[in-house]
Amino acid sequence: MQEVQYLPSMIKRLPILVMVYMVAALSWWSVLLLQQNEQLFHLKMEFLTQADVVAELKSNHERQKKMIMGEGFVFALSMVLGTYFIYKSNVRELNLSRRQSNFLLSVSHELKSPLTSINLSLETLKKRTLPQEKIIELADVALKESRRLENLISDILVAAKLDHPYTPKKQWLDLVAILHNLINGYTAQYPSVVIRLRVEREEVLLFASKQDIQSIFTNLIENAIKYSHEAPINISIIDKNENWSIEVADLGPGIPNSEKSRIFQKFYRLGREETRTSKGTGLGLYIVKKIVESHQGSVRVSDNSPKGTIFTLLLPKVAGDEGVIG
């Protein structure tokens, strides 16, 4: 097993080893060339006595020496930079491979967990005669886990779609109505969770893909619920002339500054893999960013006060050649 792991590691290091060898060989070649040039110069000097010829020979010698040293330096610098970029590329590939491996482990767990709960609920309903209240409770558990399973599969399919050139199918939407439907669904599913929606106008029209907009706010709200620990979640919609600014703010532990630039990467999850306790696949925020960008918008993350995180979306009211309504 160790040999199998050792070979890929050696293969990844091979380009670097070749580069190091070539730099060393070039350096040795440059030294030898300079030494030969010096020997040839002194040999010619022994046979030449005229001052003008000697001066010209010295000038040619210095020019050749500078040329050799300059070419050697440029080549060595190119090799060093090439080695550096190959190393960085290998590191990126290694990190992506590690995140993909963690993603597969997370997905297998995320799929297994709701399936186990659903099977247990159905087996209990099948084998026992239960009071109506208990039947309703088990049915609710099965429905909740099936929705969780549906959302997971949806995220995987959406992420796969976004890896390729994608043009959303847009229509005029009432963003407030969409958010109210999502909020009502989550407060019914999580009775202890409080989600507040603040809007400046009763009707917020947005020219976008309904499925994509639902996917954006499903991921952001679920993310806030997961980290807020039943603290209130605030969603605000602000009119910014040609754009809508939508903020989703929670009072969770927040995101370290060192990780803010990476949270939108595919498969990326906060914290260290061996100490992480939260569930997830590392696809949610990646999906949010890709969808927002496909709608010519932007997303950024900032700190909330006194603690927590704010995700701010800037979405154009209209994109493409459509006219603005209202």
- The pLDDT assigned to 54 comes to 56
Instruction: Decide if 105-162 and 171-316 have a common fold.
Output: no
- The pLDDT assigned to 249 comes to 94
Domains of the chain, by residue range, sit at: 2-97, 105-162, 171-316
- The pLDDT assigned to 5 comes to 44
Query: Would you call the peptide bond into 256 cis, given omega within 30 degrees of 0 as the criterion?
Result: no
CB 279 within 8 A of CB 226: yes
Q: In angstroms, rounded to a whole number, what is the distance separating the alpha carbons of residues 32 and 157?
A: 61
CB 309 within 8 A of CB 258: no
- The pLDDT assigned to 4 comes to 41
Query: Would you call 12 exposed, middle or buried from its count of C-beta atoms within 10 A (0-12, 13-18, 19+)?
Result: middle
- The pLDDT assigned to 176 comes to 93
Residue that the structure tokens 């963690």 belong to: 102
- The pLDDT assigned to 106 comes to 60
**CATH 1.10.287.130 matches 105-162:** yes
Q: Output the six-digit token pair for 186.
A: 């989550």
Q: In angstroms, rounded to a whole number, what is the distance separating the alpha carbons of residues 275 and 230?
A: 23
Reading the chain (326 residues) residue by residue, the pLDDT tens digits are 444 444 455 555 656 666 666 666 666 666 666 666 666 666 655 555 555 555 665 666 666 666 666 666 776 777 777 777 777 777 777 766 666 666 565 666 666 777 788 888 888 887 777 888 888 888 888 887 887 787 777 777 787 778 778 788 889 999 999 999 999 988 888 888 999 999 988 788 999 999 899 999 999 998 899 888 778 999 999 998 889 999 999 999 889 888 888 888 877 777 554 434 556 667 889 889 999 999 999 999 999 988 999 999 999 987 544 433 33
Q: What is the 3-state secondary structure (H, E, C) of the chain?
A: CHHHHHHHHHHHHHHHHHHHHHHHHHHHHHHHHHHHHHHHHHHHHHHCCCHHHHHHHHHHHHHHHHHHHHHHHHHHHHHHHHHHHHHHHHHHHHHHHHHHHHHHHHHHHHHHHHHHHHHHHHHHHHHCCCCHHHHHHHHHHHHHHHHHHHHHHHHHHHHHHHCCCCCCCCEEEEHHHHHHHHHHHHHHHCCCCCEEEEECCCCCEEEECHHHHHHHHHHHHHHHHHHHCCCCEEEEEEEECCEEEEEEECCCCCCCHHHHCCCCCCCCCCCCCCCCCCCCCCCHHHHHHHHHHHCCCEEEEEECCCCCEEEEEEEECCCCCCCCCC
Please state whether the predicted TM-score (pTM) of the whole model is above 0.75. no
**CATH 3.30.497.10 matches 171-316:** no
CB 148 within 8 A of CB 107: no
- The pLDDT assigned to 1 comes to 41
* Vertex 238 angle, CA 236 and 241, to 5°: 165
